[in-house]
Amino acid sequence: MLACSLMNMNTVKFTLQFCGCACHVQGEENVGVVMVFTIVSAVQEKLTHILESAEEHKVAEKERLEKEAEMAEQVILLH
């Protein structure tokens, strides 16, 4: 019985060491994944901001041109 308990303890120790190594390796691999995710998220956020700004500029320019056209039309009608 004592031999069986010692064997089980050794098996448990080995299993814990193996799991620890496996977790360490998995952790190192995940660091790369997290880093890539962070970079891609930042680039995606920046691109979204750029596209939204471009769309706002496009709308503002269209409104400006429409307003200029209306003003030009009013000037023509007044003369």
pLDDT at 32 over 80: no
Percent of the chain at pLDDT > 90 equals 39
φ/ψ of residue 67, rounded to 5: -65, -40
* pTM of the complete model: 0.53
| DSSP at 36 | H
pLDDT band at 3 (very low <50, low <70, confident <90, very high): very low
pLDDT digits (tens, 9 = 90+) for 16-29: 566 666 666 666 67
pLDDT digits (tens, 9 = 90+) for 35-48: 788 888 999 999 99
pLDDT band at 2 (very low <50, low <70, confident <90, very high): very low
Q: Rounded to whole angstroms, how far apart are CA atoms 26 and 20?
A: 10
